[in-house]
Amino acid sequence: MTPSARIQASIELLDAVFTTPRPADGVVSAFFRGRRYIGSGDRADISERVYGVLRHHARLGWWLERVGHPPVGARPRIVAWLILGEGKGTKDLGRLFNGDRYAPAPLTEAEQAIVRALKDQPLDSPEMPPSVRTECPEWAAGPLARAFGHRFDEELAALLSPAPLDIRVNELKSDRAEVIKSLGAAGIAARPTRYSPIGLRVEGRPPLAGHTLFRAGVIEVQDEGSQILALLADARPGAQVVDFCAGAGGKALAMAARMQGKGRIVACDVSEGRLIRAKERIRRAGVDNIEPKPLSSERDKWVKRHKGKFDRVLIDAPCSGTGAWRRNPDARWRDTDLAALTALQARILESASRLARPGGRVVYATCSLLPDENEDRVAAFLEAHPEFRVVPVGEVWAETVGGPCPMEGPFLRLSPAQHRTDGFFAAILERTDGQPGEAPPA
């Protein structure tokens, strides 16, 4: 593709992200699947530009408003990014927006005014308010300040950086040393992850989907934080386990490998589409003890029929996704009803906890950094359910993850700035007595 064609494709892709209710990563994947003629180098250039715009959404909007242009639409934001983010000059913009076949139409008078006004300006202006500088939407500012205190700026800065590429090694088929060797033979550099004993961090963005190891189910793309969460569930060989919000099955697969294929995992989700994708991953991984189970809602009748029958219940609850903003920067600016999310999380935890047998454990987790979705939800649940106790994460870490636990306090709390993973929260809750689903005493 010519440089101009890449710019036009960037505008089209960014417009698709703005006008599609799906997360950006899904929109990007679908965009390139529908355009097989776009080569790998072109895809990398286009993706990097679009994600650059998304990570600087508030700052680009602030500049466009400052120079008198409405910050609406993909094209003006691409123009602003080319100047402020990529350092393009007036002549560069004129060559790129030339109106030729596959190229963007020539700059309008209003766009030319943007170019003149932004020329030689810094991307980060000292006059920007903190919410713009940190790319923090209003709905999340208070909860994040409560979560991080004096580390607010540091944590928000880390959430603006691109996420690394982590993979999990399928313990049923190989180990890290062999995978590092195999990847190295293909020119792909990888090193062990900082905490997870089954993870590797890959350098760059190699196309792993076409690699033999991926097609054979030896490796899966999975953030180190997600791997740690699956390990902390402590699913052992022969156990009865339910992954209540299984999605496409990444954590279920990690637990199945830990269980050495012995025992049973029921992978539940309200989306049959996600479970269909999980079935393909299960087949590829060579796992035969995962049973996909679609649910009508969090209170599906299946839950009542199976209360008290599981040793482990993992709940990776739907959430705001603040911990994954590095991967989905567009999620910051999508409508988020925090009250509706916390109500749903409470219902899911209330219902799924019935599945745990006495002595069994419920692991409540989110990829959120907000106390409203994490500690507050656990505190409310424990107040209503004295038959559960918190198992401090430090008591489980050494046996399941290995090494010293990198955090204090009873809960798992991972963040990009401190642990170089996606943001994750988890509480390990153990049923001590009482009957599953029994109402707490007055």
Domains of the chain in sequence order: 3-123 (1.10.940), 165-221 (3.30.70.1170), 224-431 (3.40.50.150)
Catalytic residues: 367
Task: For residue 257, give Cα distances in angstroms to 168, 231, 393.
Answer: 11, 10, 21
> What type of residue is 326?
R
Dihedral sign from CA coordinates of 8, 14, 19, 21? positive
Long-range CB pairs of 36-42 (<8 Å, 24+ gap) are 38/1, 38/9, 39/1, 40/207, 42/1, 42/6, 42/9
> Going by DSSP bridges, is the β-strand pair 165-169/219-221 parallel, antiparallel, or unpaired?
antiparallel
User: What is residue 71's predicted lDDT score, i.e. its pLDDT?
Assistant: 85
User: What is residue 297's predicted lDDT score, i.e. its pLDDT?
Assistant: 94
CA–CA separation, 72 vs 78, rounded Å? 11
User: What is residue 23's predicted lDDT score, i.e. its pLDDT?
Assistant: 86
User: What is residue 436's predicted lDDT score, i.e. its pLDDT?
Assistant: 47
DSSP state of 322: G
Task: For residue 225, give Cα distances in angstroms to 31, 199, 285, 409.
Answer: 28, 10, 20, 18
Mean pLDDT by runs of 10 across the 442 residues of the chain is: 95 94 89 90 93 95 93 93 94 92 93 92 93 93 94 94 95 96 95 97 90 95 96 96 94 96 94 90 93 94 95 96 93 92 97 96 97 97 96 96 93 96 97 58 31
Rounded to two decimals, the pTM is 0.91
User: What is residue 434's predicted lDDT score, i.e. its pLDDT?
Assistant: 57
Q: What angle do CA 441, 308, 301 make, to 5 degrees?
A: 95
> What type of residue is 429?
L
Q: List Cβ neighbours of 217 (8 Å cut-off, separation of 6 or more).
A: 170, 173, 281, 283, 284, 285, 286
**What is the full DSSP assignment across 171-235?**
TTT--HHHHHHHHHHTT--EEE-SS-TTEEEESS---GGGSHHHHTTSEEE--HHHHHHHHHT--
CA–CA separation, 163 vs 120, rounded Å? 29
Q: How far is CA 267 from the centre of its chain?
A: 19
Residue with token string 């101009």: 4
